[in-house]
């Protein structure tokens, strides 16, 4: 599979991507990829630094004739989102990604591809190892844990970088130059309850809700994709008088729209047929509702053994109300940039097991006030039902600077090379630029990259021609970096 990818042009970039994708690199499990990147830098005899938070920085001097140009920080994150289809047998901790060429795209066999942000990492690696690409002095910054808290960017201290320009290679549409992004905050609601023995003759069912597209909880939040936790909760609400919940496992990551939810419920034998009929009926209506956005949605009911204990009806009602009343999706559109989502929330995970309930959300906004407005709405909804609520992992957005000097250079270059204007945008995703700007406030920043679709889902794919376009553009940018003042 991967050999076909290695034969694509530009070969240096795709080969570095294939090498990178052979290394397990899930968020908060980056030990192997950090070692891989350190070894890469040292083999090139370049100054290679691992900072206290475990970001990797590799520095390369300017090529002859480019010494008077401003130093450029090339930045991408090492970690990738680990998502796979339920029927895919794959161990992210030990296996490399199984890639293949599918027409004009590169994708993976039943898992996320890691093009987010692996193509950016591979491009930077290609610049570092090059012997014939003109460029100014380069500071390559490979951050960790971007996908689950941005702790690498948050932990990068002042003094490690001297560059005046930062090029973040983490935008997923090749027509865009990104000059702003959303900040975020994790909202977690927890509650304990006393399980009880089911009273009566028991009939138990495993409920499986799957086939939803899922996707990036920022970039895809406006599409109206089905959220597995919200959908399963609608089924619970419609059948709550007929059953007791024993367990729930819905969603997997805060930054991914949940594609699947699984639950065990218990009925009395006399209510079993009614439960199946009512659950199937509401699922059918939901399937019709999402037939355009999620055509592969399916809901399955299977017999299973009766669990020893279940959730009491009173606690069940509180859980259903909490998930129902927690906002999911777009909260507010931007008044400053047409078409941009300002604030949103993703009800990412719902877990119930052995007397413990947990609901995990990721709230995003480019405006701090509206970010906290959404977070506090969630807090109120959860606390009303007796949940304890914690805010954590907050990070700032990146305020757009339409007067950025490097934006002017890159905009002119884009028009000259591709005979059309680039789209100057801000995105509803958590780019690291805003955080990095905290300790490097004078750094001029732009984000761009090749076209990637389906990020954070097993449908993730990278466009081959777009990657070629991105590589050509990057090389031209490096040639045209302004001189030092």
Active site members: 79, 146
Which is it for strands 165-168 and 72-77: parallel, antiparallel or unpaired? parallel
Joined tokens for residue 397 = 């957005």
Positive/negative CA dihedral, 73, 79, 83, 88: positive
* Distance, CA of 326 to CA of 345 (rounded, Å): 9
Q: How far apart are the first and last CA of the chain?
A: 49
- Please check whether residue 258 is in contact with residue 361, taking contact to mean a CB–CB distance below 8 angstroms: no
Q: If DSSP codes are grouped into helix, strand and coil, which group holds residue 240? A: coil
- Please check whether residue 367 is in contact with residue 397, taking contact to mean a CB–CB distance below 8 angstroms: yes
| Three-point CA angle 362, 365, 370, nearest 5° | 105
Cis peptide before 358 (omega within 30 of 0): no
* Distance, CA of 481 to CA of 74 (rounded, Å): 13
In a 13 Å sphere around the CA of 112, the CA atoms on its Cβ side amount to: 25
Joined tokens for residue 28 = 């908060």
Positive/negative CA dihedral, 374, 378, 379, 380: positive
């Amino acid at each position: 599979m991967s050999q076909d990818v290695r034969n694509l042009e530009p070969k240096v970039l795709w080969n570095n991507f294939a090498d990178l994708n052979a290394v397990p690199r899930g968020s908060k499990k980056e030990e192997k990829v950090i070692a891989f990147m350190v070894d890469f830098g040292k083999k090139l005899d370049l100054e290679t630094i691992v900072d206290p938070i475990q970001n990797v920085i590799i520095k390369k001097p300017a090529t002859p004739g480019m010494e008077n140009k401003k130093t450029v920080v090339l930045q991408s994150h090492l970690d990738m989102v680990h998502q796979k289809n339920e029927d895919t047998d794959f161990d992210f901790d030990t296996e490399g990604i199984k890639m293949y060429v599918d027409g004009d795209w590169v994708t993976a066999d039943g898992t996320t591809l890691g093009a987010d942000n692996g193509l950016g990492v591979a491009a930077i690696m290609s610049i570092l190892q090059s012997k014939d690409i003109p460029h100014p002095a380069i500071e390559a910054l490979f951050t960790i844990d971007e996908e689950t808290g941005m702790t690498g960017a948050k932990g990068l201290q002042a003094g490690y970088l001297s560059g005046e320009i930062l090029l973040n290679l983490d935008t997923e549409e090749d027509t865009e130059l990104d000059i702003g992004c959303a900040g975020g905050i994790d909202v977690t609601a927890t509650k304990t309850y006393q399980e009880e023995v089911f009273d009566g003759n028991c009939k138990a069912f495993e409920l499986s809700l799957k086939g939803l597209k899922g996707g990036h909880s920022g970039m895809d939040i406006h599409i109206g994709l089905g959220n597995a936790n919200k959908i399963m909760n609608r089924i619970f609400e419609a059948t709550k008088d007929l059953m007791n919940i024993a367990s729930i496992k819905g969603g997997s990551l805060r930054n991914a729209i949940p594609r699947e939810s699984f639950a065990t419920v218990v009925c009395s034998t006399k209510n079993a047929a009614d439960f199946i009929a009512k659950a199937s009926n509401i699922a059918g209506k939901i399937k019709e509702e999402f037939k355009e956005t999620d055509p592969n949605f399916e809901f399955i009911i299977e017999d299973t053994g009766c669990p020893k204990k279940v959730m009491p009806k009173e606690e069940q009602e509180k859980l259903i109300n909490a998930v129902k009343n927690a906002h999911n999706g777009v909260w507010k559109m931007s008044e400053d940039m047409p078409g941009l989502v300002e604030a949103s929330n993703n009800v990412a995970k719902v877990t119930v097991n052995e007397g413990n309930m947990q609901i995990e959300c990721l709230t995003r906004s480019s405006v701090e006030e509206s970010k906290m407005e959404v977070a506090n709405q969630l807090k109120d909804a959860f606390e009303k039902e007796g949940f304890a609520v914690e805010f954590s992992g907050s990070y700032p957005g990146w305020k757009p600077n339409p007067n950025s000097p490097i934006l002017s250079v890159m905009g002119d270059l884009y028009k000259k090379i591709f005979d059309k204007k680039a789209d100057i945008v801000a995105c509803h995703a958590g780019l690291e630029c805003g955080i990095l700007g905290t300790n490097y406030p004078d750094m001029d920043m732009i984000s761009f990259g090749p076209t990637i679709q389906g990020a954070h889902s097993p449908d993730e794919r990278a466009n081959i021609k777009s990657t070629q376009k991105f590589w050509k553009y990057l090389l031209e940018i490096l040639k045209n970096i302004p001189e030092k003042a």
